[in-house]
A and B are shown apart, each in its own frame.
Chain A
Amino acid sequence: MQDEEHSLIKQCADGVADTYAILVERYQDMIYNIAYRMSGNSESAKDLAQESFISAYNNLRNFRNDSKFSTWLCSIVINKCRDYLKSQKQHISFDEIPEIPSAKASPEEDISKKQIIDRVQTALNMLPKDYREVVVLKHIEGLDYGEMAVILNINANTLKVKTHRGREMLKKILKAMGVLNG
């Protein structure tokens, strides 16, 4: 798979744009999903994902064959999302997590799946961006710590601490929203 991808990448670098379409098709859902979970809205997700693929194409000569193309793409979309979130200046500190009284009153089983999904996204939006990144990559994209460390360019210990804190914060928010009982 990796050899085949490197061959495709070489063809792209030689200007065969149709070949790049194969790579875009292959990874568009993953990159779009990350952008969506990070930005919280489909319009921005589409822009961020498209910008990521365009940026990757224009920088193919910087792609080092020591990592997977998908890992490199993930690092690009994460950086695009960081810039986007910085421009949005969204940040809610751990102590500022708002409680949602009407939601809290609802028992877990009474909330529809759609409502749960909406509230998970709202909860993700409330996480600081570095915690959101690790939760999205680990628990929505299912990546392992090794690949995440490359994407986020941080060491494994820092990454694990961030992941633990991100999950704790998410748990607290979901509990406050009435998605979790206990």
Chain B
Amino acid sequence: MIYKTKGYRIFTAFNYVFLAFLAFICVLPLIHILAVSLSGSAAASGNMVSLWPVDFTWDAYDKTMGNDNFIRSLLIAIQRTVLGTIISMGLLLCAAYGLSKYDEEFKGRKWYMWFFVFTMLFNGGIVPTYIIVTGLGLGDTIWSLVLPTAINAFNLILLLNFFRTSVPKSLEESAFIDGAGHFTIFLKIYLPISIPAIATVSLFTMVFHWNQWFDGLIYMTNERNYPLQTFLQSIVVKKDLSNVTDAQELKNMSQRTVESAQIFISALPMLVVYPFIQKYFVKGIVLGAEKE
């Protein structure tokens, strides 16, 4: 349908300009940070950089990649993301299989369901959680970053809804008649059919773990155990350089160009993957809206 009124054409022109401007505003801060990180340190600290590098240099990136603390926290972030996703997905997939059965087939399902859904409605808050996690001796270990957030009831419901809607009941029944048990059906029928859903929820979990910083801050007493986002928080946001003893390193890290390079490197994995995964995030919402 074409609208040829003059008013609508004027509106359309304004609309395009406005939306383009809006999109530009959204990425402008990132372009600025990138430009600063690639500029000479004198130009950067003199506030001469806006959206294009001045005195172009890779210097800040060399310094960042040569910083052992940065690299160590980067590796911890990768470790927590991989381990956290595997553990969380393993636990959720097993549970989702059981919970995807119907109440008449599986006595007790209702109780389990409420058990998990209740965690979406109520929680103990940070203080008791902190006391339990440290009380279990998990402080300063990777497990404090992986286990407390492993069970996400929302992701569990996404998976079980997917199981219910995409695995044909007839396929499962004929497998039962052929003598297959639950474990076989779960591994041989459910998991292969559900690869798209597994990929989607794994992506949610990976993005979550990559961006998570607060647990590192409270559970790690030794800064050497900080994952990347927590490290970045302590250096760039809270500007706590008290644990940096080396004078040269201190000078390097407080440089505006180096701070910007650290921010940009931390954002980079998301910048690279998000155009490919964005549609799954919308799908997650749609999945959640599907009825039983």
Are A and B physically bound partners? no
B interface, CB within 8 angstroms of A: none
